[in-house]
Amino acid sequence: MNKRICSFIVVMIMMFIMSMSAFAEETTLTSDEAVSTFATNYFSGSTGTMNSLYQNESTIFNISSGTVPPFPKVSSVTLNVNVSSGSAPFYLNVKNPNGTVVQHYITGTGSKSVTLNQFNNTDPQGTWKVSITTTGTVSTATARMTVNYTY
């Protein structure tokens, strides 16, 4: 008897669900709206620990732009750099996907904010590369890079 009651209830629920109407609304996006649905106007990434010894370049860390909308242009590049205590002054090396390299000289320890305007109005899409090169015996740092762009 319990099986018949359960079967009856399941059949009734299925009939109720199937009888419900499904409504779908068709929408059309303008090109501006379509772009804004997946664009954030920036991307960012972090390096691991960059160690530079005896004026040799550290490990190079890649930061990918991911998917960006068509025809983007860099509006700013900012790096938040944390320099370990005891580090010698060094050059922060940033290479954009087009191959342009910009170096920024950093002295002292602690947290530093670096803005690189040299990349403005270039295409941000692709893989960016970040490293350091010490001017002394040893330098250690980490960095978080944010690339803002317009389209």
Mean pLDDT across the chain, nearest whole number? Answer: 87
Residue 67 pLDDT exceeds 50:
yes
DSSP string, the chain: -HHHHHHHHHHHHHHHHHHS----------HHHHHHTT--SEEEEE---EEEETT-B---EEEE--S--SS-EEEEEEEEEEEPTTPPPEEEEEE-TTS-EEEEEE-SSEEEEEEEGGGTTS---SEEEEEEEESSSEEEEEEEEEEEEE-
- Domains delineated in the chain: 41-150 (2.60.120.380)
pTM for the structure as a whole:
0.74
pLDDT of residue 139: 98
**Tens-digit pLDDT profile for residues 17-64:** 766 655 444 445 454 444 444 447 999 999 999 999 999 999 999 999
